[in-house]
Structure 1
Amino acid sequence: MTGETISSYSFDHVILLLDTTDFESLPSWLSDNFTVIEGGTHAGGSSRNKLIIFPDGTYIELINWITEPKEFFDWAPKSPGLIDFALTTPSSAQDTFDEVMRRLESKTQPASQAQTSSTEGISESDTGAGDGGLGVRYRPPLFGGRKRKDGQDVQWHVTKPLLDDSAENVPKPLDKYFPTGRLDTPFFCHDVTDRNLRVPYSEKEISETHPCGARGILSVEVLVPEEKIDSYIRLYTAVLGMKPKVQGGYRYRPTTSVSFLLSTPNPDEKAMGRLKGRVGVVIRAPRDQEDEAWLKERGVGIREVRLFAEAKGEDEVDEIPLDSEGIGASLVLVKEPVGFWEGG
């Protein structure tokens, strides 16, 4: 997909909250599909994690509460399942914070500009979309860390969104659209120690041995109310510093599904590199009763994660939810043969 603007930003990881039973004895849709490694205990002591590392440099973090949460308060009210996702950038945490804040605080564009397909290079001024009236800013980067099982310290900076629920375009009533708290904007994660300590993607026995063949994160879908999609397009335009690619609608408007094209943390991963122009964040409105039920139960935010795997057969193309229902159904394996995405 030549000519399209692809952000230098990339996925860092996705947060999947598990209850204690599933964390200590992983359900088959996780254990049968992935190589899962021990993470460790977070610095605050109230949470622990396990990691699913992909060769593209991204990962899924399986998190569980050990005691009453003393950290990650925005995740504390959430029920098990997909709850959040993080981005990372080639810049430092502070520089990224400064860049994103400039865009969020800039004058809001007309919606027609924010909805255009991203086919040309864009400047900082072109992406000054403001926050779409959604009351989003970011807190300055905070230091974080954990100790690995092998005793090594892992350190990073996290830059979390600061949300004003009284802003004019926030979906209301709040208890309808955010029944377990508001998490509709990604956070940022930047490494202090070497990235391979936190995300050991170069260790092939960890990243390239997944039974399902997963190579990395293809997309994260964010579900928003249809009447607020213009506001969320503006918000994500400012957060990511780029205009979206219009996917086309299923009803009457062309912007019920848009995508923001991203890079990958490990540009040397060949399989994901060939998917250039397809990796990204998708913002979309509900498509069916299942989406409407999801929005009612879990609220605005991350709806689905799509993982890429190379198919073995020449004509094999498939999309397979990892489980038929429940949490696993929100993770989808996209299988395609080499010829399919090399431009057949």
Structure 2
Amino acid sequence: MIHALDHIVILVEHLPSAAAAYTAAGFVVAPGGEHADGATHNALISFPDGTYLELLAFRRPAPEHRWWRHVAAGPGLIDFALLTNNTTIAVAAAADRGLMMNGPMPGGRIRPDGVSLAWETAWPPSPDLPFLCGDVTDRAYRVPDADFWGHSNGARGIAEVIVAVTDPVASAGRYAALLGITPNAAPAEARIPLGESEIVLRGPDAGDPHVIDRLTRRGEGICAITLRGLHFPDLSATLGAAIVAAQ
């Protein structure tokens, strides 16, 4: 079962520098660790609604990595994950509805304190869709707890994930197959409630500059997020990623 937004992946050039920039912008940044393949490492910004931001940097050139292609376009929002209780069942259910995900695949990370984490992911057939993430070890080991929720900028959760797509109606059909729901779709925009968050599929006809930028530089995919409680209307220029306050 897919029941909530899990996390947002933000590519950064240099992890310590990015962590310092996000701290200066009022976020509490927790150390993450090195991923099992040794290609990437991360730091995390968690929220009371259970979601988090993953600041991810490459430790070495990794042309084989799914996200390596984004390096050429520079830092920014590159992907997002949905949380599932059982990745195998979620993949099978999507297949029954006509959408073939690639997985489950094992993944993991070693925290700076030496704790080893394990999860399973499943990857979509098109870039307008998120990937799935389901924990093997307890999720509490993966996601920073309440000690890291006191963001001085007021942020307390992810209200919206804006996804740039070429055809919102067609993308909504793929989300329907993934989630087993019927999105409210229109030619310019489709909205999909999921847990405490909402996924917004927005096409170029909507006139959103974040959508145009994403489609031009990276192709379809996540282009902006809105945060509940954020005191600043827009942190995009400060952080190099489209992070704005929820209305």
Percentage of identical aligned residues: 34
Residue 324 of structure 1 deviates from its aligned partner by 3.4
**Letter in structure 1 aligned against 2:148:** I
State the TM-score, normalized to the length of structure 2: 0.89
Find the aligned partners of 2:230 and 2:125 in 1 and give their Cα distance.
39
Give 1:15's aligned residue. 9
Tell which deviates more after alignment, 291-300 or 228-237. Answer: 291-300
Offset from partner CA, 1:307-331 (integer Å, 9 cap, x none): 11177xxxxxxx7111337723x11
Distance in 2 (CA, whole Å) between partners of 1:70 and 1:160 is 17
Show CA shifts across 1:195-252 (max 9, x none): 1000133xx2212x11111111111111112xx2221111111112111135xxxxxx
Of 95, 114, 131, the residue aligned with 1:187 is 131
Aligned partners of 2:226, 2:218: CA distance in 1, in Å? 19
Letter of the 2:201 counterpart: I
User: How far apart, CA to CA, are the structure 2 residues paired with 1:156 and 1:99?
Assistant: 19
Distance change in 2, residues 1:296/1:54 (3 Å) = same
TM-score (structure 1 length as normaliser): 0.65
Paired position in structure 2 for 1:142: 105
Q: Give the equivalent residue in structure 2 for 1:296.
A: 216
Partner of 2:194: 262
**Residues paired across the two proteins, number:** 241
| Residue 223 of structure 1: aligned partner | 164
The residue number in structure 2 matching 1:80 is 75
Query: Residue type of the partner of 1:199?
Result: V
Greater shift in the superposed pair: 188-197 or 287-296:
287-296
Q: 1:141 to 1:308 in 2, by over 3 A?
A: same
What pairs with 1:44-193 in structure 2 (closer than 5 Å)? 44-69=37-62, 73-78=65-70, 79-89=74-84, 91-103=85-97, 105=98, 137-163=100-126, 183-193=127-137
Q: Kindly provide the CA deviation profile for residues 274-298 of structure 1, in whole angstroms up to 9, marking residues without a partner as x.
A: xxxxx21111112337243432122
Structure 2 residue ranges without an equivalent (≥5): none
Residue 284 of structure 1 is aligned with which of 179, 185, 202?
A: 202
Superposed displacement of residue 37, structure 1: 0.8
Q: Bigger CA drift: 283-292 or 236-245?
A: 283-292
In the aligned structure 2, how far is the partner of 1:289 from the partner of 1:219?
15
The answer on whether the counterparts of 1:93 and 1:157 sit within 8 Å (CA) in structure 2 is yes
Structure (1/2) with the larger strand percentage: 2
Partner of 2:233: 320
Deviating beyond 6 angstroms after TM superposition, the runs of 4 or more aligned structure 1 residues are none
- Asked if structure 1 preserves the Cα contact closer than 8 Å seen for 2:91 and 2:104, the reply is yes
Equivalent residue letter for 1:283: L
Unaligned runs of 5+ in 1: 1-6, 106-130, 132-136, 164-182, 247-253, 265-278, 312-318, 336-344
State the superposition RMSD in angstroms. 2.2
